[in-house]
Structure 1
Amino acid sequence: MDTATFPVFKFRGHAHDLFIVNTPFHQCAACDRRTAVGYGVGYICNECDFSIHHICAFLFNIPEIFGYTDMSWHHHLLVSWHHHPIQICYTDICEFCNGVNELGCHCLQCGFRIHLTCVPVFDSPEITHPSHVRLPLKLLTDGAPNYTDPRCHICGEDTQHLLYHCDICKFNLDLRCAAKSPPPIALSNLKVHEHTLTLMPRLISFVCDACGTEGDRSPYICVQCDFMIFHQKCAQLPRVIHVNHHDHRISYKYPLGPGEWRCGVCWEEIDWSYGAYPCSLCPNYAIHSLCATRKDVWDGKELDEVPEEVEDIEPFKRNDDNTITHFAHEHNLMSLGKDGEEGSYCGACARPISSYTFYKCSRSDCSFILHETCANLRKKKRHFLSPEQLVISQWKNYGNFPKWCDACLLVCSEGFVYGVMFDLVCSSIDVPFIHESHPHHLLYLKLQDGHFKTCQSCGIDHTKVVLGCVKCNYFLDFHCATLPLTVSLPRYDDHPLTLCYGEKASGKYWCDICERETNPETWFYTGLESGVTLHILCVLGDIRYAKPGGNICEGFELQLNSSSTRPICLNCKCRCPGTFFINFVGYGEDHDGYNVFFCSFYCLKHVIFRYSNDYHIMCPPWVKKLELKT
């Protein structure tokens, strides 16, 4: 490359002149990333293979950052502020700021990481801090001494490698509390207390007056209120909030007041002598302070002095001609009776209209129809599945990629959904949830990263949300928890099927649909009069809102199965045994000649949509279980 006319750059880490370059074929000697568009302009050496980003060169041209001038780019760097050699790389982990992904230092020996822009923290090896005014604190780079509590004495977080320490008091302070965002020594103008609170920076056991739970360090106290004591986070609780477990606003109150109170979120007892969030409109409703302010319960909005507006949640308006105007349809709907709509499917829940009352489009050339109960679903609702208010919408999947309910993980064809993607079944559940399979009520559990719960029914491990009884270690995923207790299939018209939660049996059971063996100790459907046993997946399939003509996504259409069709699945090579099968009809108008079928979404995803193993879906009993291709 001719660089004769390019600006010359002198770099203290390299002996030759460097020239500006903006091509994708050079590797930065500092961070190992390419010097290219998207990674930043760089410099190259015409005499050797050396290249470096502009920002990397700029940072390493400042000797004060590293305190070391003899830098070799082919070995780890020795620096004055760390006892091991460090490597330059991009990192989204920083022991000072916990910030975003940017250029930093990484020690492969002890795991220490810090952004280059945060390195100046080492310019202050000793500080005097308001939380520890008697003696100075010294900067340690190898973690807290073994004779001390390794957590920060103020916030309780792990101090990791970097911290400030007092040998005499055995006091530890992490960098966030020391420099980045130190807690105020005094708090005033609070929402939940009328007096100024003062920080007590020491290890001390206490019970917080705001929430009623124990603490072990650095509370805020109120001298005027006989040393009323608060956790740091509880001292700044909001006063008025809206949570997803209740329709009305709730307001903080201390003390809650005499009575037998039970939390509306966790359903544990509330000690009335501490603070909590009661509802002024519902005399017996209250929530623990910590439950009410959980991230999965509260949307983070403080509503004190915010006027409460009456929301329009009605899904339709009535017209003078005895029709309704519904948000989900462009034409007016007529209210009709219970008869005369055999073979029609509701546009909201995708279930057959059957003998239920319904609304039908007033135009003869339009087949849109809704169950009366579905037409009355309110436009907005609060639900424990989301801290944000959920808004109903009509879902039709004409895109190139399937969508599934975020609770039960079933792929949806078309129908009404709440929020981003919660189907009508999951968003209709209330907690505590009563299920016949367990004697105790089940609560909604949002699982922490790295944790999982196994569904008692299907045996699938779930890492996001379940319904469960923690005391009994009993958990159900949303799919199994919402299985219908009774089902009617055309082939068993005279004998409705009933959900059975497993039983002890000595003989073998066989599914009447797929003709494979069933495990009687797992859940299944049975005909009490006919004596048939059926796999759950054979009865219901693995697609929510399944109806004839519904789309999984563009080109993939659901069709009714029958004894005269039963096409062969492209993936498992079995005849499709369920009520529906998926037919690939091609994209757009150019689809003549296609004749591709799938028995289930499980088989479809293995051929077309190769999801990662994080996507949990039950393998049909007639299919040999396959490992997902990633």
Structure 2
Amino acid sequence: MDNQNFLLKYRECFGCSTELVNDSYGCFDCNIFFHKKCVELPIKISHPYHRKHQLILESDFCFCNLCQVSHSGLFYRCSICNLDFHSECLPPSVIKDKKHHEHPFTLLLRPNSFTCDACDTQGDNVSYICSTCNIQVHKDCISLPRFIRLTLHRHPLSRNFFLSIHFHDSRTWDCRICYKKINMEHGSYCCSRPNCEFVIHVKCAISRENKFWYDTTELENPDEFKELDESGNLIFRVLRETKVGDNVVAAEIIHSSHDQHSLTFNDEINDNKHCNGCMMPISSSFYYCSCCDFFLHKACAELPRRTLLWFPQSSFRLLTDGIFKCWLCDYDCSGFSYKTANGLVVCLRCATTPHNFTYQAKEPHYLFYDAENVSNCSACGRRRDRKGSYICKDCNFVLNSGCVTLPKTARHNFDEHPLKLVYEDNNDYPLHHWCDICEKERDSKFWFYHCKVCDNAMHPKCVLGEYPFIKLGSKYKYKGHPHPLSFIQKIDYHPLCEKCREPCQDLSLECEEHGCNFVGHWKCLRVFSGVYSYHH
């Protein structure tokens, strides 16, 4: 069988367990295939690594004494010493790979314990040395890419064996993925752009566990790397400009999410209203429609149509309407979202929360996202069994993706004043630890909303509700009904749900068609997928 690639796709060599890309031999009846080079391996060899006896070629599944991993395939065995060496692991004496290193690496035949100068992890067997650079590395680390592109950082990263020489100083550096110290005397990847101090461990860059969150791509030439240009990627048109201080801003715009009317700029805070993009209270300069109840933070209005987030690698496309479940915080939402080609959807709150930042709670915490963390959240006490959390690099403070975006201020009909998010209850009086809305006990260790004027304290869920990020009046297309539906919350009259026949007292959907009395709970009509309904 001579290089029939269309027949060999997804098959591996039985000898070395790598894909079949070159001339190969095989038996389709037995489903066994070999590289030509593996078939031509000698039956007996003498190897400098084990000088005492000859090694005999056998086929088996066993533990390789070189790489310390169990394999199936072709092994060279010394039955006298009970040693097995996978055919792919028996190392060549010299490796020349100028693509990844300018000098040849020479095999150090004596087994020894060493710290790899490339990945800063322990090695217990065969190593290679570059006598010119005075470095000792694992065999696999010889082929580490010189330059990579990482989803977490927009510039190319270059591999360095000695970080102190690269930056010309001896400061301590934290890895921007795990936030543990980087050993200045061993390998790392650092930003190749001047004055950018982004550095990560090699082991964090190549970790299989990190691959989804921080996928890496090898770059042949970092000088040819082009950053995503978002300047011509906006979804609004400027009608009129004005000067605010020393800055010129768009005073009136047409935004594609609300193109029936123009939007006017305002730089006064109005936390009585919510942004139609991120669904958060208006807490900074914004645009508003003078004809209808439509508001957009200036930052939300200026979001690009396409962008790269810190997770995962593919670009995200901005969608400006619809009802969806955020993949990261698990909230049902209306408003703007970012979506990948394979259907992963995130809300604006999660999309605009960076991988690492300072969160101001009772005291400031420098947080970074740890995809493996399953600790209890410091805000609500709940534990996430997937997707990780934001953790403080200096203490045990942890926030899940739902709590890290909680509004700092909120409003509720129970209290006429703005409610402030409070991070700790210092009142020791037991009767104070009750929610004034649900009249159930509060845990004083967890966050709550508080009115300083009335001294009312309330659970965040009681203030925000079960679905805090779905705006009343938003449209929804339900497959089980021919007419468009809109979100409502009945106060005085509670019709029966078409599904469960219980009164619709919480968030519900109502038919907009005149004369049609269809109504149902959102929890009864929603579907269990990432995207529930989009209108365009």
Q: Please, what TM-score do these two structures have when normalized by structure 2?
A: 0.71
User: In the TM superposition, what is the alpha-carbon distance from 1:235 to its structure 2 partner?
Assistant: 1.8
Contact 1:278 1:285 (C-alpha < 8 Å) held by counterparts: yes
Question: Are 1:136 and 2:17 matched, yes or no?
Answer: no
Q: Which residue of 2 aligns with 1:308?
A: 225
Provide the rounded CA distance (Å) in 2 between the counterparts of 1:249 and 1:464: 26
Provide the rounded CA distance (Å) in 1 between the counterparts of 2:409 and 2:269: 24
Q: Which residue of 2 aligns with 1:444?
A: 369
Provide the rounded CA distance (Å) in 2 between the counterparts of 1:223 and 1:433: 44
Q: Call closer, same or farther: CA 1:352–1:485 in 2, change over 3 Å.
A: closer
- Segment of structure 1 superposing worse, 533-542 or 287-296: 287-296
Provide the rounded CA distance (Å) in 1 between the counterparts of 2:528 and 2:319: 27
Kindly provide the amino acid, as one letter, of the partner of residue 561 in structure 1: Q
Give the counterpart of 1:117 among 18, 27, 31.
31
Kindly provide the amino acid, as one letter, of the partner of residue 219 in structure 2: E
Question: Are 1:564 and 2:492 matched, yes or no?
Answer: yes
Q: Which residue of 2 aligns with 1:357?
A: 286
Give the counterpart of 1:289 among 199, 202, 214.
202
Partner secondary structure for residue 543 of structure 1? coil
Q: Which residue of 1 aligns with 2:154?
A: 247
Mapping of residues 187-586 of structure 1, within 5 Å: 187-200=95-108, 203-226=111-134, 228-256=135-163, 257=165, 258-262=169-173, 263-279=175-191, 280-294=193-207, 295=211, 296-304=213-221, 307-309=224-226, 311-314=228-231, 315-316=234-235, 319=238, 322=241, 323-324=252-253, 326=255, 328=257, 333-337=262-266, 346-351=275-280, 356-358=285-287, 360=289, 369-386=295-312, 388=313, 390-397=315-322, 403-417=324-338, 419=340, 420-430=344-354, 431-434=356-359, 436=361, 441-447=366-372, 452-456=374-378, 457-469=380-392, 474-501=397-424, 506-507=430-431, 509-543=433-467, 545-551=469-475, 554=478, 559-561=487-489, 563-565=491-493, 576=505, 581-583=507-509, 585=511
Provide the rounded CA distance (Å) in 1 between the counterparts of 2:392 and 2:271: 41
User: In the TM superposition, what is the alpha-carbon distance from 1:408 to its structure 2 partner?
Assistant: 1.1
Contact 1:441 1:469 (C-alpha < 8 Å) held by counterparts: yes
Provide the rounded CA distance (Å) in 1 between the counterparts of 2:132 and 2:271: 74
User: In the TM superposition, what is the alpha-carbon distance from 1:357 to its structure 2 partner?
Assistant: 3.0
Q: Call closer, same or farther: CA 1:342–1:95 in 2, change over 3 Å.
A: same
Provide the rounded CA distance (Å) in 1 between the counterparts of 2:515 and 2:79: 77
Provide the rounded CA distance (Å) in 2 between the counterparts of 1:266 and 1:167: 44
Q: Please, what TM-score do these two structures have when normalized by structure 1?
A: 0.61
Partner secondary structure for residue 242 of structure 1? strand
Mapping of residues 618-629 of structure 1, within 5 Å: none
Structure with a larger share of its residues in strand: 2
- Segment of structure 1 superposing worse, 402-411 or 340-349: 340-349
Partner secondary structure for residue 119 of structure 2? coil
Provide the rounded CA distance (Å) in 2 between the counterparts of 1:487 and 1:355: 15
C-alpha distance after superposition, 1:508-537 (max 9, x if no partner): 744333444444444332223322232222
Contact 1:360 1:370 (C-alpha < 8 Å) held by counterparts: no
User: In the TM superposition, what is the alpha-carbon distance from 1:585 to its structure 2 partner?
Assistant: 4.0
- Segment of structure 1 superposing worse, 464-473 or 408-417: 464-473
Partner secondary structure for residue 511 of structure 1? coil
Partner secondary structure for residue 493 of structure 1? strand
Q: Call closer, same or farther: CA 1:527–1:211 in 2, change over 3 Å.
A: same
Q: Call closer, same or farther: CA 1:143–1:254 in 2, change over 3 Å.
A: closer
Contact 2:272 2:281 (C-alpha < 8 Å) held by counterparts: yes
Unaligned runs of 5+ in 1: 1-91, 100-114, 145-151, 616-630
Q: Which has the larger radius of gyration?
A: 1
Provide the rounded CA distance (Å) in 2 between the counterparts of 1:126 and 1:469: 57
Partner secondary structure for residue 425 of structure 1? helix
- Segment of structure 1 superposing worse, 248-257 or 326-335: 326-335
Mapping of residues 49-88 of structure 1, within 5 Å: none
User: In the TM superposition, what is the alpha-carbon distance from 1:471 to its structure 2 partner?
Assistant: 7.7
Unaligned runs of 5+ in 2: 1-11, 20-28, 242-251, 531-536
Provide the rounded CA distance (Å) in 2 between the counterparts of 1:342 and 1:211: 50
User: In the TM superposition, what is the alpha-carbon distance from 1:313 to its structure 2 partner?
Assistant: 0.9
Q: Call closer, same or farther: CA 1:159–1:265 in 2, change over 3 Å.
A: same
Contact 2:154 2:227 (C-alpha < 8 Å) held by counterparts: no
Contact 1:328 1:393 (C-alpha < 8 Å) held by counterparts: no
Q: Call closer, same or farther: CA 1:173–1:303 in 2, change over 3 Å.
A: same
Contact 2:504 2:520 (C-alpha < 8 Å) held by counterparts: no
Partner secondary structure for residue 269 of structure 1? coil
Q: Call closer, same or farther: CA 1:342–1:512 in 2, change over 3 Å.
A: closer
Q: Which residue of 2 aligns with 1:597?
A: 521
Q: Which residue of 2 aligns with 1:5?
A: none
Q: Call closer, same or farther: CA 1:192–1:610 in 2, change over 3 Å.
A: closer
- Segment of structure 1 superposing worse, 121-130 or 487-496: 121-130
C-alpha distance after superposition, 1:268-326 (max 9, x if no partner): 33233333333332254433333344523243242525513354313257657555465
Provide the rounded CA distance (Å) in 2 between the counterparts of 1:497 and 1:291: 39
Q: Call closer, same or farther: CA 1:325–1:553 in 2, change over 3 Å.
A: same
Q: Call closer, same or farther: CA 1:412–1:220 in 2, change over 3 Å.
A: farther
User: In the TM superposition, what is the alpha-carbon distance from 1:260 to its structure 2 partner?
Assistant: 0.8
Contact 1:552 1:558 (C-alpha < 8 Å) held by counterparts: yes
Q: CA RMSD in A?
A: 4.6
Partner secondary structure for residue 402 of structure 2? helix
C-alpha distance after superposition, 1:229-260 (max 9, x if no partner): 12334322222233233333332233222321
Contact 2:279 2:335 (C-alpha < 8 Å) held by counterparts: yes
Q: Which residue of 2 aligns with 1:106?
A: none
C-alpha distance after superposition, 1:304-349 (max 9, x if no partner): 2551335431325765755546565657844433589998753321
Q: Call closer, same or farther: CA 1:526–1:305 in 2, change over 3 Å.
A: closer
